Amino acid sequence: MTKALVIGAGIAGPVTAAALRKAGIEAAVFEAADRTADGVGAFLTLAVNGLAALETLDLKPMLDGGFDTPRMVVFSGTGRRLADLSSGPRLPDGTVSQTIRRCDLYVSLRDEVVRRGVPVHYGRRLVDAEVTSGGTVVARFADGSEAEGDLRSPPMRACAVAGSRRSWRRAGGGATRRPSALPAGSCATTSSCRS
Ligand SMILES: Cc1cc2nc3c(=O)[nH]c(=O)nc-3n(C[C@H](O)[C@H](O)[C@H](O)COP(=O)(O)OP(=O)(O)OC[C@H]3O[C@@H](n4cnc5c(N)ncnc54)[C@H](O)[C@@H]3O)c2cc1C
């Protein structure tokens, strides 16, 4: 089975891994922090496109504890009303944006992808990634460890990078790109990586 390396076990990383699994691609998640972030953070609001994506991946139940947020009102520290705005459109079934404690969403998404068989590795900060001449991708981590995933090319699309300032290298001399241009949750695979 094609294997993808997903960098970052925040919100997008586990969701990306779930999407890969649903597409028949094996996925492993690598997180820079050496421990989970259970209990950390405040609230975040998901717009309806994000809710639709979670629904597609059978992850919408992970929003238990969230609440409808059709509008947002913003106040300054002194209580002055700064803005009153819509949180965006509704889905055809009436669904509106949802606000949830970030750690509740984080924990339930992570636990669910682990339950689906996705390993999450901590203390693995990506520092470099290289495409081998054999067409795989090797991700290198700050602790000196490596992981290998599949990267079918051409064309090379997304890659195993997140937050790294070091350059993306293609073994044997190819185009370089800056990993920092890609968000955490990117995956080490390509659009043509269907197994
Ligand atoms: C601990 C934490 C608490 C947060 N709390 C809130 C909040 O209360 N409200 C809010 O609106 N937003 C919060 N955010 C931000 C919010 O989660 C994200 O902006 C949003 O959900 C997008 O998700 P994301 O997965 O892209 O990013 P994030 O949720 O930020 O996840 C990115 C993950 O990638 C990891 N990572 C980064 N670089 C590397 C690397 N080189 N190698 C391996 N892993 C790497 C990070 O450690 C992080 O766990 C928080 C983020 C974190 C990390």
Banded model confidence at residue 179, pLDDT cuts 50, 70, 90 = very low
| Average pLDDT rounded to a whole number, residues 166-192 | 40
Banded model confidence at residue 83, pLDDT cuts 50, 70, 90 = very high
Please determine, for residue 168, whether its predicted confidence score (pLDDT) is greater than 80.
no
C-alpha 21: how far from chain center = 13
Element (H, E) at 27: strand 26-30
- Is the minimum distance from the CB of 7 to ligand 1 under 6 angstroms? yes
Higher pLDDT, 18 or 167: 18
pTM for this prediction: 0.82
Comma-separated ranges of CATH 3.50.50.60 domains in the chain:
3-36+119-181
- Is the minimum distance from the CB of 87 to ligand 1 under 6 angstroms? no
Using the 8-state DSSP alphabet, how is residue 159 labeled?
-
Nearest CA owner, ligand 1 atom 5:
41
Please determine, for residue 159, whether its predicted confidence score (pLDDT) is greater than 70.
no
Using the 8-state DSSP alphabet, how is residue 59 labeled?
-
| Average pLDDT rounded to a whole number, residues 70-77 | 95
164/127 Cα distance (integer angstroms): 5
Burial 161-174 (b: 16+ CB within 10 A, else e): bbebeeebbbeeee
CATH class of 3-36+119-181: alpha beta
